Amino acid sequence: MMRGMNMQQMMKQAKAMQKKMMAEHEELAKQEFIGKAPDDMVTATFTGDNTLVDLKIKPEAVDPDDVDMLQDLVVAAINDGMKQVNDATQQKLGKYTRGMGM
């Protein structure tokens, strides 16, 4: 047992930390992140809980003779948005998992 700290104090601290972590997670879920492809030809909007809520494609990105390019732009925008969500999640919630082997 840790010096000067009984089990009841440890449980109280753990509950307080859990409550704070849940509040920060909820706050993060309300934020929006916009992933962009080169030249903003495609944008993908995500919420902080990794939900894709909007996808916009500029008309000039649509070339029937080059569907592969459009697919690449969509993938780039989605990956950029997801990276933003993951980075923000790590920044906001990573402090709770450091040193836990996760």
Report the CATH number that the domain containing residue 48 is assigned in CATH: 3.30.1310.10
How many domains does the structure of the chain reveal? Answer: 1
Beta bridge partners of 35: 44
Look at the block and give the residue holding tokens 């009841």. Answer: 8
Which residue segment(s) compose the domain that 29 sits in? Answer: 1-99
Residues of the chain with pLDDT under 50: 1, 102
Assess contact for 27 and 47: CB atoms under 8 A.
no
Instruction: Name the pTM for this structure.
Output: 0.75
Model confidence over 13-29: pLDDT tens digits? Answer: 889 888 988 888 899 98
C-alpha distance from residue 19 to each of 16, 25, 70, 93 (Å): 5, 10, 43, 12
